Structure 1
Amino acid sequence: MGDYRSADPDKLEELADKLWTSGDGGAYGSLANFMDRARALDASGELSRLQPLLEWLRDAAQQMREGARILRGGEEEYREPIPGYVDSDDDDSGVQAEWNFEVSNQFHADQFLDIANQEELSEQDISQLQGLASVADEQSDFASYLVDEIGMEAFLDLWQRVDHASADMSETAQDDAEALRTSMGNILNAAMWVPGDLEPGTDAYQNWVDTTVQGQRYEERLDAFNLAGAQQLGTGQDSSLGYDVALDLLERSELPIDAEFFMQTMTHLSAPYQGSADTCVVWPRDVPERLATIAAGSSPQETLEWWNDLTAENQDALVAMAPGAIGNIDGVPSAVRDEANRLYLPMLIEELEGRDDADSQRKLEGLLAVQEQMAEETDPPMFLLGIGDEGNGRAIVSFGNPDTADNVSAYVPGLNTRLDAGFSDTMDRALQTAETARDLDSLADTASIVWLGYDAPIVGDSAGMSPLGTGGWGLPENLDVMSDEHAREGAPAYQKFLEGINVTSLQDDPHVTAIGHSYGSLTLAMATQEAGGVNADDIIILGSPGLGVDSAEDLGVGAEHVYVGAADNDVVTRLPSPEEAALGGAGALLGLTQPLGPIFGADVGGQIADWNDNEIWFGRDPASESFGAQRFLVDDGPPIVGGWFEAHSNYFNPQIDGESALNIARVVTGNGEAITPEEPR
């Protein structure tokens, strides 16, 4: 901005005000108002060119104010730093650090407070708040000062006000509000940092609190955080529990949560909050669970590093305080997840027993099936890696410890799989794979997992559709299974789970096999298309309706490592393509008496209009020669007519289809070259 040394400080401040003023009297405000009017005229395509000018005006005003203050203070005279936000130092670097906060961060914080304290917030106000917050939102001194000055409750309530005000504003204002949300999350997070390696309960921490202004203000801030967390912020439809707002902000923060703040807050949340003699807040179950999930980090590797940095005492405390979170976070060691979920399972059972709706009762039957399986002694032993009641229910069950196993398989179930009484059969498939692998290679440890971490599509009686004899299931009633929506939604979670399996493994190079059965094969394939692909050595596709890709090579592990089992009488592997189903004619009429209606009918009815043998419902047939995978021998299964679905369910069972079960075990144990091959279609 030039040399201020000969300038009049009053003139500099006056010019800064003219640049910064938010109304039409100032350059910044006038330009911002002009841009708002241009947006209203749909001229937003050209507005990006003006944004740098807005930022230049803001920075110019800041530098002019700083210059005025420097001139007033003289070269050697600095204004006293605000105590409690910087560490005092006698050397030059310490003094300069104090000065930088005083003239720069305080300037932005004060401007932020002036706008935040207004009763109504305009689009321009939200834009300015975002600009001010983003300048130093990761700096502890700025964050602490701002939160202390506005007050913790008012800070949390500000986000509700911004969220409400921006709901009916322009798209640009909503983008600014979203960015402000991240900055406010960073500010809240940075305000709760404890310096160095201080741990609550230690002499060093207590000395910091007793003898320093920073420590005293941190304790006050922590108390204010917990107090505000217990308050209902806002009124009417905008009312939220303070912790809901705080967690919403922390979830968006780009900073890791301070370990000491996290443990103190979790301890606070482990018991009801006593606000006064007349109030007692019992925290919703998901409040401590969400905080633990936020603290763990976004990737399994970050989670494992976070977990390993905790003391053994804190690890034990977290398992007790937030078992539902710790037991379901990818990157937490498997033995810990199992311990946490064994605590969490009876809590879920008790909760669902108190409900009388059909969905809760169905999930309760599934939870009881898992509990019954846990009570049985299996070889290898069972590990409960995930459990939950969201969606159609969640359950991740492993037979064998994935962290110590030489071989790990993770099977994604498909059509009609959910947490209900029938989940026992799904767990049996994983156990059968573990047992067959053990019999095949007794010198290696194998862990076999069933991963129900998504909502598989549901059809037939269990979906509430009309039973046979009363009209059948027509095509429009089965769009759920016909769409790839469920697979796309489940793919990122499955990819992350496989990443976690590799991260927590104690083996140098575990052999990991991803298995997809039925619609679960599509979910697996979608996971391979996520950034980075899937962390697996081999892929097994069973009873697939198609994968949404054109070739085995597209799955990212090499065509020679993609194995396919497709029974000739498995109707799911014989589904026509959507075009064939539409042209199925008389065959579709036959399907009106079968589940999945005209889709299966078009096939059963002689594959009418079957003009492309290689295409099935979700793309290229994985069992076809053109797909390029390694097809292995399986039993044909019973005929479609009279037993239309039986052949779809036998791949894992060594008593019914011993060749298929053995081929699966060969791949899982790293001996894929030993499969019994079958000619591709």
Structure 2
Amino acid sequence: MSGPDPQQLHREVTTGRLGRAGSSRLAAARVAVDRTGQHLDTARTVLGAAWTGSTASAAARTLDGRSATLLAADAELGVAQELLAGVARTQHDVVRAADGLLLGWLATVAARALTDPVTTAGVTVAVARELLALRDHLDGELARTATAFDALAGGAAVAAPVSPAPSPAVPDPPPEGTDPIEVARWWGALSHQQQKDLQRSGPEELAALTGLPPVVLDRVNRTRLSRDLWRLAHPAGATTTGDEFTGGDLAEMVVRRGAVTVRGHAAQVASAALETARSVAAGAGPVLLLRYSTQDGRGVVVAVGDPSTATDVAVTVPGTSSSVAQTRIEQAVALRAQMDAADPSGTHAAVQWVDYEAPTSLLDPEVARLGLATQAADHLVGEVAGWRAAAQQAGTAPPHVTAVGHSYGSTVVGLAGSRGLAADDIVLLGSPGVAVDRASQLTPGVGHVWAARAEHDPVVQATAGSWFSPGATDGPYDRSFGARLFAADDPASLLGAHSTYYEPGSESLRNLGAIATGDLGEVTSARPDGLGEAAGDVLRHTAEMGRALGAGDRDAAAEAVLAGLGDLAGDAGDAVLGGLGWATSELRGLDRRWPTGWDPSSW
């Protein structure tokens, strides 16, 4: 037989299954890398709970660096696995085609070799030509794969830690905004392997959902954070989605790399915030990153403890100037420690919730508006519902949830309470108002809405009867509002009075711990004040001075005099700020008579 032998060509085309075998080995390698990463995560958690100080922080950073390295290695293995999977698919298609050609040729030879040698020869030539084309196609695919592997080995083929797409057996995540209960049920119905595949392949989609277990949210958000940091360190070819950069014009490339830089810098700030949280909360329990976002209007949510397994959960919402960089995690840590002290037999979690765009300062025009607080309130309602749904799916008892808002954060909590916030108790600290005029309008109802104010808190004094209070006498501290007023410390001056509510050892923090653990009988009531407050302060300090002089203790007498002067100064400041608040209230009452276009809220 002259010309190429179809049988020999068939053997060349169908021998060897490099793609399938290599892909299996890479899959096993990725399992080993994933297992190592889990060990590192466990070590990091144990380290954070048992070891503090600068050396511990350095060790934690080292572990984080190794985790990032493992993510990059997993990404490269994933790309290599996909390359070999592509080769395996090509081999499979080529072998099927070659088998069909050979069988057809053999049938022709058997039937016509003796009776029609011309036709048999023509068929042989045609089959050989087709087999040669299949061989060339396979050789070309192998050559392209080899080139890709060379680039991968040189570090040019991977733009960011990426993972292969999930297998068809893994269902797509529900869309963002799905009811948390439905999300929890969907997640609970997945197999363990499906959950692992989704965490690896779809961290962005999972992170946008509410209703997932907090430990899962922590894992996917740390993955996203590490990837964004990786992209910032490797900007060449990185895109906002984590896919390989496929080219395009220069303008497109500049836009993509600019977006990567923005995400990367946001990741740096969030990473620093998480490091601060881990340092401050050392020994208080695992630190979970429940939310990490680079979108405008969103931020971070960090938990000390697991809100889906704790018996008591406190969520603290800070006010103006809060951000990813200024989480004020110390508030949640202090409250968590007080909850542990108040109820040593319970399990507790405290969540610092900064998942909103707060006004930059008290001078920010947005402070006098409700737009940012309204948007934040909707986020808060959804996330608390998500923690409850995760607890329900896990079969644990529903936690006792206390929402604590400070300053502008109290406005957020109040608005959330009027929009269905699933909280058992609501606490308002140093509040300028909550946009409702009765405690009964908030979800916990009368008896479970609390308010506290430091004696000289300038925010409370300056907004008396105005700002977010619907009526001139219906703010959170007015009797008609219906909140339970509890005691807070009385700083001697205006300076710092607005920031004393979470001070360790303070009366306000002890009361917060009692409320958050449901021990309401231990809450101390606020001391009455009124028009005679200044005179009462003078008489009290005069009596102290007299007792000290009678005992011959001139130092104590001098301290009583200074304290009395401080109280008088604070009371004078209260009078000025309180008068300003009431004057603002009266002016706002006249706004209906002002010319069209005037906006007193912008003053």
Output the TM-score relative to the length of structure 2: 0.52
Letter of the 2:436 counterpart? V
Counterpart position of 1:625: 479
Letter of the 1:430 counterpart? A
Provide closer, same or farther for how the CA distance between residues 374 and 528 of structure 1 changes in structure 2, counting only shifts above 3 A: same
Provide closer, same or farther for how the CA distance between residues 348 and 544 of structure 1 changes in structure 2, counting only shifts above 3 A: farther
Letter of the 2:484 counterpart? Q
Provide closer, same or farther for how the CA distance between residues 343 and 361 of structure 1 changes in structure 2, counting only shifts above 3 A: closer
Counterpart position of 1:481: 367
Q: CA deviation at 1:662?
A: 0.5
Larger radius of gyration: 2
Counterpart position of 2:206: 326
Quick one: distance in 2 between partners of 1:326 and 1:428?
28
Unaligned runs of 5+ in 2: 1-147, 149-156, 236-257, 530-603
Q: 1:517 aligns with which of 406, 413, 436?
A: 406
1:590-609 pair list within 5 angstroms: none
Q: CA deviation at 1:349?
A: 3.1
Quick one: distance in 2 between partners of 1:323 and 1:358?
19
Q: 1:634 aligns with which of 469, 485, 488?
A: 488
CA contact (8 A) 1:296 1:303 kept: no
Counterpart position of 1:654: 504
1:575-590 pair list within 5 angstroms: 575-576=462-463
Provide closer, same or farther for how the CA distance between residues 413 and 335 of structure 1 changes in structure 2, counting only shifts above 3 A: same
Q: Which has the higher helix share?
A: 2
Counterpart position of 1:365: 269
Counterpart position of 1:589: none
String of CA shifts for 1:269-303, please: whole Å, max 9, x gaps: xxxxx9xxxxx998999x999x9654476111010
Counterpart position of 1:442: 344
Provide closer, same or farther for how the CA distance between residues 401 and 362 of structure 1 changes in structure 2, counting only shifts above 3 A: closer
Q: CA deviation at 1:562?
A: 0.5
String of CA shifts for 1:431-479, please: whole Å, max 9, x gaps: 111111101110001111111111111127xxxxxxxxxxxx6xxxx32
Counterpart position of 1:570: 457
CA contact (8 A) 1:539 1:563 kept: yes
Letter of the 1:654 counterpart? P
Which protein has greater RCO, CA pairs closer than 8 Å, 6+ apart? 2
Q: CA deviation at 1:499?
A: 0.9
Quick one: distance in 2 between partners of 1:494 and 1:370?
20
Q: 1:408 aligns with which of 313, 316, 326?
A: 313
Q: Does 1:550 align with 2:437?
A: yes
Q: CA deviation at 1:351?
A: 4.2
SS in 1 for 2:481: coil
**Alignment length (residue pairs):** 341
String of CA shifts for 1:204-235, please: whole Å, max 9, x gaps: xxxxxxxxxxxxxxxxxxxxxxxxxxxxxxxx
SS in 2 for 1:396: strand
Q: 1:417 aligns with which of 298, 322, 346?
A: 322
Quick one: distance in 2 between partners of 1:630 and 1:616?
21
Q: CA deviation at 1:329?
A: 2.1
String of CA shifts for 1:148-197, please: whole Å, max 9, x gaps: xxxxxxxxxxxxxxxxxxxxxxxxxxxxxxxxxxxxxxxxxxxxxxxxxx
SS in 1 for 2:228: helix
1:333-344 pair list within 5 angstroms: 333-344=213-224
Unaligned runs of 5+ in 1: 1-273, 275-279, 461-472, 577-612
CA contact (8 A) 1:614 1:626 kept: no
Letter of the 2:309 counterpart? T
Letter of the 2:491 counterpart? G
Q: CA deviation at 1:512?
A: 0.9
Provide closer, same or farther for how the CA distance between residues 295 and 309 of structure 1 changes in structure 2, counting only shifts above 3 A: farther
Counterpart position of 1:500: 386
Quick one: distance in 2 between partners of 1:288 and 1:541?
46
Provide closer, same or farther for how the CA distance between residues 330 and 662 of structure 1 changes in structure 2, counting only shifts above 3 A: same
Q: Does 1:374 align with 2:278?
A: yes
Q: CA deviation at 1:429?
A: 0.7
1:260-279 pair list within 5 angstroms: none
Q: 1:455 aligns with which of 336, 357, 362?
A: 357
Provide closer, same or farther for how the CA distance between residues 552 and 680 of structure 1 changes in structure 2, counting only shifts above 3 A: farther
Provide closer, same or farther for how the CA distance between residues 614 and 626 of structure 1 changes in structure 2, counting only shifts above 3 A: farther
Output the TM-score relative to the length of structure 1: 0.46
Letter of the 1:365 counterpart? V
CA contact (8 A) 1:392 1:419 kept: no
Q: CA deviation at 1:534?
A: 1.4
Q: CA deviation at 1:381?
A: 2.1
Q: CA deviation at 1:368?
A: 1.4
Quick one: distance in 2 between partners of 1:357 and 1:680?
54
Q: CA deviation at 1:347?
A: 2.0
Counterpart position of 1:669: 517
Q: Does 1:538 align with 2:442?
A: no
Q: Percent identity?
A: 28
String of CA shifts for 1:513-560, please: whole Å, max 9, x gaps: 111111111111212222xx1111111111111000001111121220
1:28-107 pair list within 5 angstroms: none
String of CA shifts for 1:635-667, please: whole Å, max 9, x gaps: 123422xx2xx2222211214xx1010000000
Quick one: distance in 2 between partners of 1:358 and 1:315?
30
Quick one: distance in 2 between partners of 1:616 and 1:437?
32
Q: CA deviation at 1:309?
A: 1.6
